[in-house]
Amino acid sequence: MAEEEIFILTDHDGSEREFKELFSFDSKDFNRAYIILEPVSVNDGEDMDVIPFIYDKDADEGMLQPLETDEEYDMVEEVMNTIFNNPKLQ
C-alpha cells in the first residue's frame, strides 16, 4: 500500500496543520484537476473542515491553488455533496 501524501498548510494565524487527500477528480468543464483535503487530526469539539483546491500535481510550486470562480466552487460543491451523500461512493 502506498503511503499517503501529507500536505502542510499554513492558516491566517501562521499555524501549520497537516492535511491528507480525501479524494480528487478531474473536471472536463473546467479542464483541470481538483483535490479535497481533510485534516490529519481533529481536536475534540473541533469541526472537521474539508478544503477544496485546484490541484496541479506536476507543478514545482503552487501545486494547490484556490478555486477561482463561483461557478467552479458550485461544481466542486456538487461533486462533494454527491460523494458525501451516496453510501455506495463512501
Helix (H) or strand (E) holding 80: helix 70-85
The pTM score is 0.82
Burial class (CB in 10 A: 0-12, 13-18, 19+), 16: exposed
pLDDT at 89: 64
16's CB contacts (< 8 A; 6+ apart) are: 8, 9, 10
pLDDT in tens, 65-89: 999 999 999 999 999 999 888 877 6
